[in-house]
Amino acid sequence: MLQFILRRLSQMLISLLVITFIVFSLSHLTGSPINSLLPDDATPQQIASLTEHLGLDRPYYVQYLTFLQNAAVGDFGESTKWKGSTAAEVVLERLPATLKLGGLAVLISVVTAIPMGVMSAVWRGSIFDRMAGVIALLGQSLPAFWLGIVLMWIFAVTLGWFPTSGYGGLSYMILPAVAMAWFQVAALTRLTRSAMLEVLDSEFVKLARIKGVNERSVIWKHAFRNAAIVPVTYFGVLAGSLLTGSVVVETVFAWPGTGLLAIDAIRGRDFPVVQTVVLFFAVFYLLANFLVDVLYAVIDPRIRFS
Amino acid sequence: MVTGLVAIAAFSAVPAQAQTITMVMSPPAVETNRYWNTPGDFALGPAMQGLVGHDPVSGSYDNSGLAESWTHNDNFTEWTFKLKPAAMFHFGWGAVTAADVIHSLALHTGPDTTLNGISQLEGAVAVALNDHTVKFTLPAPQVDFLFVHGGRGSLVIYSKAQFDADGLEGYDAMPAGSANLQYVERNVGQGLTFEKVTDHWSGEDAQFDRLELNFVSEPATTLAKLLAKEVDIVILPRELQGDALNAGFEAIPSTNASNQTTMLFNGAFLLPGYEGLDETLPWLDIRIREAINRSIDREAMIDVLYDGRAEILPVFGMDPRHEGYVPELADRFEAEYGYDLEKVAALLADAGYPDSFSNPVIPILSSTLAGNPEFPAMAELMQVFLDEAGFQTEIVEMDWASLGGLRTAREAKMFHPMRNLPVKPSAVGIRNYYSAAGAPRNNYEDEVIEGLMTKYMASIDPAERDELAGGIFTRVFEQYAVAPLASISAEVIVNPETVGAWVFPGATSVGVSHFGSIVPAQ
Amino acid sequence: MGFFVMSQKLKFMGHLPVLPIVVLMIVLIVPALFADLIAPHDPYKAYLRNRLEPPLFFGGTTEFILGTDRLGRDILSRIMHGARYALVISLVGIVLGAIVGTALGLIAGYMRGRIEALIMRIVDITFALPSILLALALASISGPSFQLVIFVVIFVIWGFFARQVRAETLILRERDFVARARVAGASDFRILHKYILPNLVNTIVVLATLQIGVVIVLEATLSFLGIGIPRPVPAWGLLVADGRQLIVSSWWISFFPGMAILLTVLSVNMLGDSLRDWLDPKLKQV
């Protein structure tokens, strides 16, 4: 088991290293931040002095190595767009907002999708199943930004049930979280449903029924327990889509999280912040997958030796 | 008597409800309290001041800033400002003195400054003649020196005492300004809060208690906030203003035009001997430039882009408030630039377009620039006009920063939008858009303009300057050096239930100013 | 609800459900092929005097059945011409993504060992990198373009194919007929090509169908951020993005293209589901 964990961990680190290189290269390839920081009538001296100030005149590999060195001790550079703060500070300040929103979105999707998926399978072919199917299909067909705007107009502007945008407590989070969760609900419902269908068909469940176990127990204690592995492993993918989903939703709802930060930073050519944001989320995603892998291995010993 | 006194005491002891005005604007390019690290697009306007102010109605320079008066020598190389003795910094940092001005100048012209227009301050040496008098000595005459202190706001006065005590971190935490609103806090990514200064030294207190600025990048979200009455004032792109107005909200325009928009024929570097000229650019031919100008139905354009609330602009950079204004050019505009597709066809035939051109395609830039959300729509509209007139076009999408790089390298060979915001003094504008002198803005250049420009930069006689600038604008007009579009005022949309009035002249880079004079609704 | 019942019945008859195919033809395929002939207007023509006209039955005229946008362009014609791009992007993107993913998945599953580990590592990295940010970064370098959209699409979906194909290859390679082929001296390539790949076709087809929705929504999201197919091409995502600002008063600009996306993806997904049920009911979703 320990060997398995160590192996996975080292693989994770390699992935991370490659990602840092890709991210670093990309953000530097997008062009010098000079042009977006300096005004249009900047003099050549201004350009030169800012270039030097930001260390952009040193050779590429030197910049990368410096970046790695510093990153290892937690120094991700100074933000160029949010002057006076370090990149790490800027990201950490915005991270809780996205985690809160993401957390609520995940909660919504789990609470909605799992029961819906399970009951769709149990009542296969019924109206409920078909409705759930329609909802799932809808979820995968609507772009999140469009949904966000429509939700805002219906529930915030027209009905006034929620505030339109901005940062705040639960009422500010519901609409953006729903917009984020929508797609996940669709995928998770279908996954859960198909996993449940398989298990419900199995000998194991048939046996439980013959033994006289009551139906609710059959569904939840026997079938679901076994089917759950499928949606659980999906959480890794869910974590990854957190940033992608948050970028668009945070823009629409002016939610000051890392998604919005990433867009602003890319547009403003703030390299340090861009790198830091992407790294944080890559780490988050890889960690989530790692944990899921370990969980999987704990549950199913065969996996450890694959 | 006692009852009376008690009654009076009770009455005056009733606390006023804290009145907060909330305003939504798009996020500034750089969020920091160190003004010199921003491009100057948004001063900590509510809280900080420069030496020179603007009359809210006429927009002309006045002494509503920190200077009560100023003089200059005959050749405009020495400017002396007398500071108001009563001026005080916030949070107890003391009186505003010449030392603070000198300190601020050093900060703003330091090595990490990124301010727009800083070239006007470069090389300036400031000396304190006494506690309240500062003399600037400039390396070259600058007739428009006040511009950098006022609307452009390049020199904002910080407290030296605060810096000596707390350094830059002091500014990051709680910058002391001198206006009648003071800084409370900044929520990175979300906005800024200011509060009223009680018994302000100017004698004019703000009429509300707090001002909250919210940064929202999505116009649809901004509109939603306004319609839901969550905010009092918003800055909205023109195409959404109609929806707000229909819902009962009101528009407050700046008292003067604050912005000019145009399309530039970038790459038309017609100075003889310039080696980087790309001779395949179709708009090097004056007939093509004229044809393009005549393909634009400017009235329709104003309807589409500005909801009908803009004026036709005869020459980009020319404004009645500044030097070189030639009224005849406005009269000639319809005849020489008017929408006329037959004339366009004749011009194209005459020029042999497209067959005589090795590269007949006109690349039109589509890009978003903070504060000008209409640029992509402008590009599409230009394509519509030009296509109908018989041109071959393509839309090029590029973010503004990348464009900046190309422009600096003189490689931006495109028909692209540009704005003049705030409307600059003529000398500054001409140098930016029509002359090879100064930092490259890349547009049309030719030797006639250059010749006039050399004399203009050296002249200090107002009549002569006026004539030279007028000559340059006339040349620009007659050579079809740009495709001018519109002159626009800055507008905010307010909720009339909470905001009564706001008079601002549109003299700053973000359009709005004079925050302290927002009048809440009664 | 009736159409569900009808489609179930048809399925039981062993045919593919008719309704999704019909919808797909109307919304996607016919316009994509014949837009030039059947669209009522030129999608690029701006009728500046008819800007922001509502659709028929909401105050509009038969001239512009679905209304016009802020430059006076006919929404219906734009949707019809945009179908071409939806079709091309989905087909090209998915075919290429499927090829890349299948090839690498096959190699990974069959060769095992270091190569497999490497390929799966790359898949992980692909999933860990936020695609939207990657797209933004690339767009800043090279400017938005059709190729960029295709690249992002391939980047996002190849991993799904690779993972699924690898998992199945792992199982298939242990099967008897493969062992027999090996004993008979068949080369690896031949085994992959003749024995394993044909058994994967079902999976790949189903997966591809299910990814179409993802791809179309991805394009719409890229357009929203301003880095989709460059203007003035009326790609559906761009149409929805364009109308988002005017959604309160001129809702039709975003609504109808959004419906086109919705109907297409719905139909495709229903088709994919039926395909899967028909070809391989035991197939697990990725």
pLDDT digits (tens, 9 = 90+) for A204-257: 888 888 888 888 887 887 788 777 777 777 776 776 677 677 888 888 888 888
Closest CA in chain B for residue C49: B300
ipTM above 0.85, yes or no: no
Tokens representing residue B29 in the block: 């390019």
Helix axes C2-12, C252-279, angle to 10 degrees: 30
pLDDT at B210: 94
Interchain contact, B397 vs C140, CB within 8 Å: no
**Selected residue with higher pLDDT from A279 and B171:** B171
CA-wise closest residue to B395 among B370, B415, B368:
B415
Tell me the three state secondary structure of residue A288.
helix
Q: How many CB pairs under 8 A join B and C?
A: 59
Burial of A215 (0-12, 13-18, 19+ CB in 10 A): exposed
d(CA B483, CA B263): 5
Tokens representing residue B192 in the block: 């800024």
Question: Where residue B15 falls among pLDDT bands split at 50, 70, 90?
Answer: very low
Which of C116, C124, C142, C276 to mutate to probe the A interface, most A CBs <10 Å? C124
Does the pTM exceed 0.90?
Answer: no
d(CA C238, CA A252): 16
Q: Whole-number mean pLDDT of chain C? A: 82
What are the distances in angstroms from CA B178 to CA A63, A297, B55?
42, 65, 18
Which of B295, B392, B399 to mutate to probe the C interface, most C CBs <10 Å? B399
What are the distances in angstroms from CA A12 to CA A281, A283, C252?
13, 9, 47
The CA angle A33-A38-A40, to the nearest 5 degrees, is 120
pLDDT in tens, B249-265: 999 999 988 899 999 99
Neighbours of B146 (CB within 10 A): 23
Tokens representing residue C184 in the block: 């008979």
Is A158 at the interface with chain B, CB within 8 A? Answer: no
d(CA A300, CA A224): 16
Q: Which residues of A touch C136 (CB under 8 A)?
A: 262-263, 266-267
Q: How many CB pairs under 8 A join A and C?
A: 135
Task: Give the minimum alpha-carbon distance from A253 to chain B in angstroms, rounded to a whole number.
Answer: 7
Q: Which residues of B touch C (CB under 8 A)?
A: 219-220, 223, 227, 237, 239-240, 242-243, 246, 297, 300, 303-304, 366, 368, 376-377, 379-381, 383-384, 387, 395-399, 401-402
pLDDT in tens, A149-201: 788 878 887 888 888 887 888 888 999 999 988 888 888 888 888 788 878 87
- DSSP H helices, B249-367, are 286-295, 298-306, 327-337, 341-351
Q: Whole-number mean pLDDT of chain B? A: 88
Question: Where residue C135 falls among pLDDT bands split at 50, 70, 90?
Answer: confident
Interchain contact, C224 vs A240, CB within 8 Å: no
Tokens representing residue C147 in the block: 């190729």
Interchain contact, C240 vs A263, CB within 8 Å: no
Closest CA in chain A for residue C211: A140
- DSSP H helices, C39-175, are 75-111, 113-128, 131-142, 146-172
Decide: B480 and B32 in contact? Cβ < 8 Å. Answer: no
pLDDT in tens, A81-101: 787 788 888 888 888 888 899
d(CA A16, CA A283): 7
pLDDT at C4: 57
Is C142 at the interface with chain B, CB within 8 A? Answer: no
Identify each DSSP E strand in B45-190 by its residue range.
53-54, 61-62, 67-72, 78-83, 125-130, 133-137, 181-187
Is C129 at the interface with chain B, CB within 8 A? Answer: no
Q: Which residues of C touch A278 (CB under 8 A)?
A: 129-130, 133
Which of B236, B296, B304 to mutate to probe the C interface, most C CBs <10 Å? B304
Question: B61-62 and B53-54: which strand pairing?
Answer: antiparallel
Closest CA in chain A for residue C4: A130
Interchain contact, A194 vs C285, CB within 8 Å: yes
d(CA B90, CA B175): 8
The average pLDDT across B505-513 equals: 84
Q: Which residues pair with B361 in a beta bridge?
A: B392
Neighboring chains of A (3 or more beta-carbon pairs < 8 A): B, C
Residue found by looking up tokens 């394509």 in the block: B383
CA-wise closest residue to B262 among B222, B184, B315:
B315
Q: Which residues of C touch B297 (CB under 8 A)?
A: 48
- Residue type at B14 in one-letter notation: V
Q: Which residues pair with B53 in a beta bridge?
A: B62
Question: Where residue C263 falls among pLDDT bands split at 50, 70, 90?
Answer: confident
d(CA B228, CA C114): 59
Tokens representing residue B283 in the block: 């708009």
Is A165 at the interface with chain B, CB within 8 A? Answer: yes
Interchain contact, A252 vs B220, CB within 8 Å: yes
Decide: A167 and A176 in contact? Cβ < 8 Å. Answer: no
Q: Whole-number mean pLDDT of chain A? A: 80
Neighboring chains of C (3 or more beta-carbon pairs < 8 A): A, B
Element containing residue A48 per DSSP (H, E): helix A44-53
Neighbours of A91 (CB within 10 A): 27
pLDDT at A48: 77
Question: Where residue B14 falls among pLDDT bands split at 50, 70, 90?
Answer: very low
Decide: B455 and B487 in contact? Cβ < 8 Å. Answer: no
Reply yes or no on whether the pLDDT at B299 is more than 90.
Answer: yes
d(CA B498, CA B20): 10
Interchain contact, B368 vs C245, CB within 8 Å: no
Element containing residue B494 per DSSP (H, E): strand B482-494
pLDDT in tens, B328-385: 999 999 999 999 999 999 999 999 999 999 999 999 998 877 667 788 889 989 999 9
Please report, rounded to a whole number, the percentage of residues in chain A having pLDDT higher than 90: 3
pLDDT in tens, C205-252: 878 887 887 888 888 888 877 788 887 788 888 888 788 778 778 888
Is C47 at the interface with chain B, CB within 8 A? Answer: no
Decide: B405 and B259 in contact? Cβ < 8 Å. Answer: no
Question: Where residue B457 falls among pLDDT bands split at 50, 70, 90?
Answer: confident
Give the torsion sign (CA, A153, A154, A155, A157): positive
Is C132 at the interface with chain A, CB within 8 A? Answer: yes
Question: Where residue A303 falls among pLDDT bands split at 50, 70, 90?
Answer: low
Neighbours of B276 (CB within 10 A): 9
Question: Where residue B464 falls among pLDDT bands split at 50, 70, 90?
Answer: very high
Task: Give the minimum alpha-carbon distance from B406 to chain C in angstroms, rounded to a whole number.
Answer: 13
Decide: A102 and A175 in contact? Cβ < 8 Å. Answer: no
Decide: B183 and B157 in contact? Cβ < 8 Å. Answer: no
For chain C, the structural domain boundaries read 18-40+52-285
CATH code that applies to domain C18-40+52-285: 1.10.3720.10
pLDDT in tens, B41-73: 765 779 999 899 889 888 888 888 899 999 999
